[in-house]
Structure 1
Amino acid sequence: MSIGTRVKQYREAKNWSQEDLAIRLDTTQTTISNIESDKNIPNSLLLKKIADELEVNLNDLYDDKITNISNIEKNDGVVNTGSGTVNMQSPELLEAILKNQEQIAKLMEAQSKLIESLLKK
């Protein structure tokens, strides 16, 4: 089952419209529609926000299988990438990814403000 399908299931279980979820996430209904129809896959930061709003575990939203990634074998939650082994169910890994995404978002915001100030000059 895809991430989009799971988001839709959990949203509907709360009797929320796409617009309701979009407002809670400070995004658009179109964004939610695109996620639910698998046209877009949310980044890890947005996916964490979705999980928080829907009151589900982040892992509950992930697809059952890894797709479109070459040279990866998945066994019992461990992925062999050819250059090492990673436990994909590691809470530490997920937290590190989320912190990284938050830092990226802050840097992008700072960059946008800098560009805006330069354009005003």
Structure 2
Amino acid sequence: MSLGTKVRQYREAKNWSQDDLALRLDVTQSTISNIESDKSIPNSLLLNRIAKELDVDINDLFNDSSNNIMSNNEFSDHAVAAVNQYNPVFNMHSPEIIESILKNQEQISKLIESQNKLIENLLKK
């Protein structure tokens, strides 16, 4: 049984609509709909809040009780792999990202310099 199916079952067991759960979690109804239809997977913070609102152990939201996603406050390897399939991994050492960061820093430096000149001119007046 999928995560979304389990969320729906626990929600319906409480006789809550998707809107009810969304309101309790401060998310949109479409977020709940996407989770329940397995179009998206919630991040770890939202997943934890869902479990708390539904009064279930976070592990109960996953297929097998033997495949616990968390133990000793650490996410299991299969839980990390499940989330990573929805989140691309970025190589923070790629030349494109480094170049972009450097360009942004250069622009920020120019803006600060420009602001300092404006402040100097205002103080002279």
TM score, norm. by length of structure 1: 0.57
**Alpha-carbon distance between aligned partners in 1 of 2:69 and 2:56, rounded to the nearest angstrom:** 18
Deviations 1:47-87 (A, max 9, x none): 0000000000000012339xxxxxxxxxx65xxxxxxxxx8
Q: Describe how 1:66-81 pairs up with structure 2 within 5 A.
A: none
Q: Write the distance in 2 (CA, Å) between the matches of 1:88 and 1:12.
A: 23
Name the % identity: 67
Shift of 1:88: 5.1
Contact 1:22 1:28 survives alignment (8 Å): yes
Q: Report the counterpart of residue 91 of structure 1 in structure 2.
A: 72
Structure holding more strand per residue: 1
Task: Please give the alpha-carbon distance, in whole angstroms, between the structure 1 residues aligned to 2:22 and 2:42.
Answer: 13
Is contact 1:8–1:36 with CA below 8 Å preserved after alignment?
Answer: yes
How many Å apart are 1:16 and its aligned residue?
0.1
Tell me the distance in 1 between the aligned counterparts of 2:64 and 2:2: 7
Quick one: distance in 2 between partners of 1:12 and 1:42?
19
Give the match for residue 57 of structure 2.
Answer: 57
Deviations 1:27-61 (A, max 9, x none): 00000000000000101110000000000000001
- Whether the aligned pair in 2 keeps the contact of 1:2 and 1:64 (CA below 8 Å) is no
Count of matched residue pairs = 77
Name the TM-score, length of structure 2 as normaliser: 0.55
Please, which runs of 5 or more residues in structure 2 have no aligned partner?
76-125
**In structure 2, the residue corresponding to 1:49 is in which secondary structure?**
helix
Structure 1: runs of 5+ lacking an equivalent? 66-75, 78-86, 95-121
Corresponding residue for residue 17 of structure 1: 17
- Which has more radius of gyration? 2
Runs of at least 4 residues off by over 3 Å: none
Call closer, same or farther: CA 1:50–1:88 in 2, change over 3 Å: closer
Match of 2:114 in 1: none
In 2: Cα distance, 1:43 partner to 1:24 partner: 17
